[in-house]
A and B are shown apart, each in its own frame.
Chain A
Amino acid sequence: MTAIAKQVEDFLSTSAPFDMLNESMRHDLIRHADLLYVTTDNTEHFKTGEPRLYLIQSGQFSVEDGEGAARHLSEGDYFNYAAILDKRFYPLSVHVDSPGLVYSFAAEDVCALLELVEVNSFFTGLRNNALQNHAIADSNSMWLYKPLTDVIDKAPVAAHGNTSIADAAMLMTREKVSSLLVTANDKLIGIVTDRDLRSRVVAHALDTALPVKQIMTVNPTQIGNSRTLFDAMALMTEKNIHHLPVIDHLSQSPIGMVTASDIIRHQRGNVLFIIGELTKANNLYELTRLSWQLPHYFAAHAKRAGDYDIAGKILSQATDVMTRKLIGFFQQDNGKAPMMFAWLVYGSQAREDQTTGSDQDSGLLLASTPNEKQAAYFADMTDYVCKGLAKCGIKLCDGNIMASNPELRLSVDEAVKEAERWVAAPTSKAIMHFNIFLDVRCAAGDASLFKQLQKRRAPLLQQKMFLAALARNSNDVSVPLSMFQKFSYEKGRKQKDTIDLKTRAVALINNIARIYALADGITLPNTVARLESLSDKSELSSKDAANLKDIWVFLNRLRWRHQLENKVTDNLVSVSMLSSIQKHQLKAGFKAIERANEAMVMKFSGGVG
């Protein structure tokens, strides 16, 4: 019998997609595999014989296979999968840049594994450079979509049908429950609630020595434990019941009970709930107290990928609510504003992708140029609001991009003139300065004022020369991949393998989405929304837009999870903390961003980087 070396097992059990094989499948794959030490003079392996699938464990290679142009590959990369997927021979040429170990798998074995959805979608995904993540499809999940198994925390209180009514009532009292499951042979046959005891026993002066099965509701409505809290809620509303037994979907035996009060309790745990609470705050003290709970709420309740997707939105909404409340508090003490104004937010808050480390970026748009007295009112108001937000945990902006800065309190006319200045001289220094203002949203005040500005500004920002300058500027940042598609890490950090997902990746997608959106005349600030609403005329294909959106969502998940799990506010995600499949996804994502960025520079600036 062939033995399996631990290093082989270790490597393959951490290499997606083979990490998800069960042990015996993985061992079969290993037993028929070869291990090559590939040097410049033994690359004939690749030229002859049956096509095989290759996985690099060490070394660096430039490979041309059925995938077209040469790719630089290294540790963890596969090649020649096109030949396996298409079941045909493609010429394969491997140039050794630095020798190393390469696993070689028999086509037959890999083909057998392609029957598995995960394996198949992994390799087809590699091929299409798409991000392989099924979870993204169901990203609108929320706390309501908790599986019932996570919701029920208590074994069911159950009794046999022949138990007397009195004993049943005593059991319920002792267990502090309002309903009792009646079982026979571990199967659910009925349910008794407080209400049954009132209406069927006390109201009829029934003998409490009678068996409980005489008063139970026979064959009550029930739900499988694989369903969600939402399903339970829907069912309870439909049947107008307050107690819903949960059944193990395999054994059919009852494993718990969901009650109306459980649902209320879980609703309180919903982050949306805290936004409701924020709106009810009556003074600065209450507002700050609630705001400081936000990070805890996220940490305690955001568990699934879908939760991270909406976390940024919720935080932005919460910040909007805080801003509106603070403006309200100020006006209570100082009277109404002397003219119409719009409170504008920029950058991440505008895009609704705030994370816990985001600082405030705001400005004020005024109906007209204020006189001295009016200016003083707005200076006081903005100072109060910005300081108030800081007290609520939203950091003051280091760059002083805040409405409290008098330079950022402009009338509509002044703001349009400012945009004219941007467009007239888009130097890279100027772009650095005004890029943030291009993602803008009205968070409070008079939205119509903001609409005026947008309408007057849109044609200016659509000018070709201006977009070309923006595109060139975006080319200055590159994705953190080396020539050989290895991750390149941030230098000078305590942890050696971190990548700043915000500046090195998310910001790039934001740039791409912004430029295409400006070109298309879209005034929305949110990156996902921008990508979704690009018109047919846009030069970004809908496929690329959808792909960038997926990548953006994926990156956001990673950084939210990083912040919540490590209780930090930075975006320095450690690559070693990612699963094998996430590493592949991240790499695929970076490559797609790079391609999209290059294509954008080509389109808008004619390739002049």
Chain B
Amino acid sequence: MILQWLKRQLTLAAGSSLTKQLSGRYINNTDLLAIDVELTSLDAKATDITSIGWVAGKGGQLSLSSCEYFVINTSAALGQSPVIHGLTHDILAQGKPLAVSLDKLMPLLQSSVLVFHNASLDLAALNKAFIELSLPVIDVIYIDTLKLAVYQLSKQHQVLPTNSATLTVCRQRLDLPSCPEHNALDDALATIQLLFAQFEQFGLDQTSPLSQLLHTKALGKYRLGETQDR
């Protein structure tokens, strides 16, 4: 009983602090950073990052010069993952150490609201990397385009149709052009475009506060670098 109460208080606290962090953030002044990582497996605890890509944007506009892409020199077991993203051992061997890419990413993580399509997996992988590299603990705010899509879909469907919330299908639904899949940078770019289109779909304009999306549960905060009890 007490445990439950505590849990609720904690969630409330988390919720309210998210609201606080979102105050003053509007569509036209919020720096967004869409990130995508390609992984060795879908198991959050055991996965390693094989490549990472990101792109920054704000208010429906993005500068292509902010696009970054790193192939990570990992020795982890790749499992079946090369089938998906095409990154084989040979390619990875020529990659950069994970620390180099995260160094570059670090300053952007705290100044921007992060954008993911399926945030939980990508965040878990980043978290694992933070811990392994003993990077300082930081708090980030994120938007999950998958959750935004699911929110819209659940208004029409009791049970979501299979594959109705993949990045590609979500983009198709909003008339965005098709693009190559499973490359971290392309997926990041595709995700931020999807978010722009979703803002439009949710009726947000340039002066809308970001907190208008709180009810969709697509906004969240996350502590990177701390062993999380889940």
Contacts and interface: CB of A to CB of B under 8 A. Distances in A.
Interface residues of B, number: 31
Contacts of B185: 3, 5-6
Given A58-B176, A101-B176, A37 B68 contact: no
B193 A101 contact: yes
Contact of B197 (A32, A37, A57): A37
Contacts, number: 89
A100 B175 contact: yes
A41 B202 CA distance: 13
B189 A59 contact: no
A36 B196 CA distance: 9
A7 B176 contact: no
A276 interface: no
Contact of A37 (B55, B65, B196): B196
B197 A34 contact: no
Contact of B61 (A5, A36, A98): A36
B183 interface: yes
A39 B200 contact: yes
A100 to B, nearest CB: 7
B110 to A, nearest CB: 22
A37 B176 CA distance: 10
Nearest to B28: A42
Interface string B44-81: 00000000010100011111111111000000000000
B60 A31 contact: no
Contacts of B68: 2-3
Interface in A23-40: 30-39
A58 B177 contact: yes
B175 A42 contact: no
B60 A6 contact: no
A6 B177 contact: no
Contacts of A11: 177
A605 B193 CA distance: 50
A10 B180 contact: yes
Contacts of B200: 37, 39, 99
A39 B53 contact: no
B190 interface: yes
Given A2-B65, A33-B64, A41-B205, A58 B53 contact: no
A34 B53 contact: no
A360 to B, nearest CB: 47
B206 A57 contact: no
A34 B63 contact: yes
A45 interface: yes
Given A36-B60, A38-B60, A41-B206, A7 B179 contact: yes
Contact of B60 (A7, A8, A42): A42
Contact of A5 (B28, B177, B186, B199): B186
A57 B62 CA distance: 15
Nearest to A39: B200
Contacts of B69: 3, 5
A4 interface: yes
A6 B62 contact: no
A34 B200 CA distance: 19
Contact of A32 (B55, B65, B183, B189): B65
A98 B183 CA distance: 28
A45 B206 CA distance: 12
Contacts of A57: 177
A37 B197 CA distance: 7
B64 A31 contact: yes
Nearest to A32: B65
A35 B117 CA distance: 20
Interface in A299-327: none
Given A6-B183, A41-B205, A35 B176 contact: no
A44 B176 CA distance: 22
A7 B61 contact: no
Contacts of A100: 175-176
Contacts of B64: 2, 4-5, 8, 30-35
A45 B180 contact: no
A101 B60 CA distance: 9
Please indicate which of the listed interface residues A8, A31, A37 has the most CB atoms of chain B within 10 Å of its own CB: A37
Contact of B67 (A3, A37, A45, A59): A3
A425 to B, nearest CB: 51
B186 A6 contact: yes
Contacts of A98: 175
B86 to A, nearest CB: 11
A5 B67 contact: yes
Contacts of B205: 39, 41
Given A7-B189, A39-B200, 11 more contacts: A3-B53, A4-B64, A5-B183, A6-B179, A30-B64, A31-B64, A31-B65, A34-B62, A39-B60, A39-B199, A41-B205
18 contacts: A3-B68, A5-B183, A7-B177, A8-B64, A31-B64, A31-B65, A32-B65, A34-B61, A34-B63, A35-B64, A35-B189, A37-B60, A37-B193, A42-B60, A58-B176, A98-B175, A99-B197, A100-B176
Interface of B: 28, 53, 55, 59-69, 175-177, 179-180, 183, 185-186, 189-190, 193, 196-197, 199-200, 205-206
Interface of A: 2-8, 10-11, 30-39, 41-42, 45, 57-59, 98-101
